[in-house]
Structure 1
């Protein structure tokens, strides 16, 4: 439901995000091979409709680097395959965008988005901080009135020394003034006019008389007529010869856009202390991309930097994302001359402040006091985010976090397994245990075993067993088990057989019994050694020990010849 309760903040946030998104949309459009206007319309359409129908209040959607890379790859492959221009194959290309939107809607309908929420905090912190570092590095040379020769973080770093050595003094002055405004703008005035908006207005007015200051006019396209400003309707085309290529691109765009958007949603949650609806967000993203494909616009996803600009300059509700789209629409239709006068240095100053705010300084300063693994994890994700790829950073982070979690759980499970909980025994069980005089060992499984614990389970049992003649495996706390745990239990049974120990199984739930039976483990134990309770197992063990253990210690009953 759209609300106007925070109209002022949404207006400022959407306006600033729209202005910041303008050069990015143009640049992404040019890089995609579809042209700058396709980038602008991509930001307008996906930004408006994803905000209107999505599940993250402050999300700003538009063209992003990962999405543009996949889209540009499809453009290059199709134009090469057909030896045709972009215009000649545009119907096929934008069919992939429409299909990607449909797939994202299906992701939302089938509630795929809930799994993205499982990303742990150190990964989010590293990702956020990496985004902040990227923003600062990309804008560093622009403070001095220079532009990197190429895109990417490495090129931006390489451009910094040259920019410092040959500064555009006017642009540098405007950038420094913008930085001072955004960092030190009075809070009481900021309630009415955010510092970023003030820097945008003041910096632009100061830059008006100067010709040598790089401005947006350098990247804005010109239009011969009003009709040129409107997007064309692109009818989807299906071609069997390239159907697999189009479908593959659509799947990658859908998955990449979903991950990119929901990660940005998590970042927005962290900044606003709210919680997004991931499945609704996927539906909104799908609607935005589906419509974008029908009007020749490049696909988009939740954009972390633009979302944070929106949040930091006052955006609170989904109205801010819709206003961001309308601002860009106004630029395309009417306000191109005004936007053309904005100096790049002003945007650089605003974005550096945004980058600094995104870096998780509070966690970085205190992380050394917490678990070292979490600090290492955060640092790895930050480094991969900055120097490799955003999606790869999160994938590596989640993988490492999962390994760390499994390792810790396995340690706890194995430690608990090695303890005999004699306090849990009732009076009769205690008497039976004491009568055995150390010849009985009870192992109680404390809940389901992870595959990490299962890997060392047999070794743990061997290490803790001494001269006991009887081993009781108590499954009371194990409602189910996987194949790894089942085969670990098989190793325990086979080890006991080799050392002439009697093995009893007790308190097995039906799912556990069925799994062990299906894998052939039940056949390793005499039927009379599988008992309903621990007390029954202790009684039978005591009886066997009192008889001197004359029976076969383990194994199925002999089969008749």
Structure 2
């Protein structure tokens, strides 16, 4: 049983039997994702301070190995926006060889983390910290593309946020109308297609239309060919960079940052994939797969890679069933890089900037960011502090400070939540309720009790519990009388729990909710008037309500009687 935790999902799938119909579905999904990933990989390679071919190499090598050796059935990997800031800074300080060494070290760190079973550690990263640093990275990525989007005549753009914008404002007189038109047109195409025809590859269509327009109209616009005149076709031969103890010592902090980001994003993406596809990933094997993928990418001269949430979601929506879909995505990208390199030279830089604006917008998670701003002052402070430090100081500092402040805040909340009872009385119903809570449950009703503060360290357990139930019950009772505290990550887990239950046709009843958790749930529109959940004063009332729901006394989404 323990060895199964370290078995790649591809091995499991092939052991179950792989048919021609499964391959057909996986191949179609792989081609769809490859079409989406092609312009994105080039854009991320350029934004990282490297070149478009480096992004493609990463998408091919890391994408192949993540799917072949990872712990998720439908995860798709490659270069992502989260790495842009780190890669850019490493290349600026240590050169491209320094980045390759850092990526190799990060691969080793990820393999060790998986072998030591640290895959579950992601649940200890508070939600405001994750949202704060991803939103901060989104701002940095968008800022880095202003030059190419506006066609500014700037030789070198500073890496730091404030100096960068000082240079931009100083060069506003050099804005190119043609470049802005191409960038704005590409952005308009992507946004329009997302709203009107979301199944079409908006990124690729925008790139093709803009490239044709620039070539036909002979617009004076910077392109990949003018910026990178010697793009190699296919993959380079694998080789090791020149390694020394001094270089290892210099890039080791960056290696830990890359490993941390790769692990966080990969496991977050795997969790999202589980929710969409109804699967369950192996977190430790996923880390090992990510580690091997980064080793492979570095050997071929590529960038760091990890699981990509948007590409994974596209993979699932396109009908992917197994890791073969991710492997086929890498194969198709390899074919594109072998036979379409000459065409890539016509792609305008402004079109790639438009793509990265959309990537940054997706990373910002503005709805979640705004929802966290409605949380109590402590969660709001952690969010804004992490966000500000990410943009203005450093990503590593932002994460370290964010986690530390969130931990101190949690300890303060726990101290406030503890009450000392001097009456000497005990709750006479506690043990009897626990012993007999399932005795009178009818078929189709499931019950769980949450005992103690529901915070970022235990929030993931609730979603795992729902996946372990198996067949979806008609009603799920969550007993929360013993939950004195609910933080932002706990609220997020409850939101996802309710969402997954609704998709499965299950109605959720919250029993005995205390004032602080109830107030937190109302902030995110999960109160008694939301129609999304049912509230019961105690367990007996919850049972009666569950029986009524079996008879469809209350319809899904209707107003719930106040209790």
* Residue number in structure 2 paired with 1:258: 259
Distance 1:137 1:150 in 2: 11
From 383, 387, 394, the equivalent of 1:378 is 383
State whether structure 2 residue 210 is matched by structure 1 residue 203.
yes
Distance 1:366 1:37 in 2: 39
* Residue number in structure 1 paired with 2:546: none
SS in structure 1 at match of 2:262: helix
* Residue number in structure 1 paired with 2:476: none
Gaps (5+ residues) in structure 2?
A: 1-8, 11-21, 429-450, 454-563
Cα root mean square deviation, aligned: 3.9
State whether structure 2 residue 68 is matched by structure 1 residue 52.
yes
Distance 1:399 1:7 in 2: 45
Rg (Cα) greater in structure: 1
Q: In the TM superposition, what are the counterparts of 1:419-438 in structure 2 within 5 Å?
A: 419-424=421-426
- Per-residue deviation, 1:215: 0.8
- Relative to structure 1, the CA distance from residue 377 to residue 320 in structure 2 (aligned partners, 3 Å threshold; closer, same or farther) is farther
- Relative to structure 1, the CA distance from residue 421 to residue 14 in structure 2 (aligned partners, 3 Å threshold; closer, same or farther) is farther
Distance 1:156 1:36 in 2: 23
- Per-residue deviation, 1:249: 6.0
- Per-residue deviation, 1:268: 3.1
* Residues 85 and 137 in structure 2, CA contact (< 8 A), matched pair in contact too: no
State whether structure 2 residue 351 is matched by structure 1 residue 346.
yes
- Relative to structure 1, the CA distance from residue 401 to residue 361 in structure 2 (aligned partners, 3 Å threshold; closer, same or farther) is same
Greater mean alpha carbon deviation, residues 312-321 or residues 251-260: 312-321
* Residues 381 and 396 in structure 1, CA contact (< 8 A), matched pair in contact too: yes
- Relative to structure 1, the CA distance from residue 294 to residue 116 in structure 2 (aligned partners, 3 Å threshold; closer, same or farther) is same
- Per-residue deviation, 1:200: 2.3
- Give the count of matched residue pairs: 396
Q: In the TM superposition, what are the counterparts of 1:151-170 in structure 2 within 5 Å?
A: 152=159, 153-154=161-162, 156-162=164-170, 164-170=172-178
* Residue number in structure 2 paired with 1:329: 334
Distance 2:194 2:365 in 1: 23
- Relative to structure 1, the CA distance from residue 237 to residue 379 in structure 2 (aligned partners, 3 Å threshold; closer, same or farther) is closer
- Relative to structure 1, the CA distance from residue 237 to residue 270 in structure 2 (aligned partners, 3 Å threshold; closer, same or farther) is closer
From 188, 195, 201, the equivalent of 1:194 is 201
Distance 1:236 1:186 in 2: 42
* Residue number in structure 1 paired with 2:443: none
SS in structure 2 at match of 1:205: helix
* Residues 14 and 320 in structure 1, CA contact (< 8 A), matched pair in contact too: no
SS in structure 2 at match of 1:423: coil
* Residue number in structure 2 paired with 1:516: none
1:79-123 superposed Cα distances (whole Å, 9 cap, x missing partner): xxxxxxx7xxx9xx9677555534432221221232133211111
* Residues 262 and 278 in structure 1, CA contact (< 8 A), matched pair in contact too: no
Distance 2:191 2:53 in 1: 33
* Residue number in structure 2 paired with 1:357: 362
State whether structure 2 residue 310 is matched by structure 1 residue 302.
no
1:435-483 superposed Cα distances (whole Å, 9 cap, x missing partner): xxxxxxxxxxx999xxxxxxxxxxxxxxxxxxxxxxxxxxxxxxxxxxx
* Residue number in structure 2 paired with 1:174: 182
SS in structure 2 at match of 1:214: coil
State whether structure 2 residue 38 is matched by structure 1 residue 14.
no
* Residue number in structure 2 paired with 1:245: 246
* Residue number in structure 2 paired with 1:503: none
Q: In the TM superposition, what are the counterparts of 1:65-76 in structure 2 within 5 Å?
A: 65-67=85-87, 69-70=89-90
State whether structure 2 residue 305 is matched by structure 1 residue 288.
no
State whether structure 2 residue 156 is matched by structure 1 residue 136.
no
State whether structure 2 residue 401 is matched by structure 1 residue 396.
yes
Q: In the TM superposition, what are the counterparts of 1:218-229 in structure 2 within 5 Å?
A: 218-222=226-230
Greater mean alpha carbon deviation, residues 311-320 or residues 256-265: 311-320
Gaps (5+ residues) in structure 1?
A: 77-85, 427-445, 449-561
SS in structure 2 at match of 1:190: coil
TM (norm. structure 1) is 0.60
* Residues 123 and 378 in structure 1, CA contact (< 8 A), matched pair in contact too: yes
- Per-residue deviation, 1:139: 2.2
TM (norm. structure 2) is 0.60
* Residues 111 and 291 in structure 2, CA contact (< 8 A), matched pair in contact too: yes
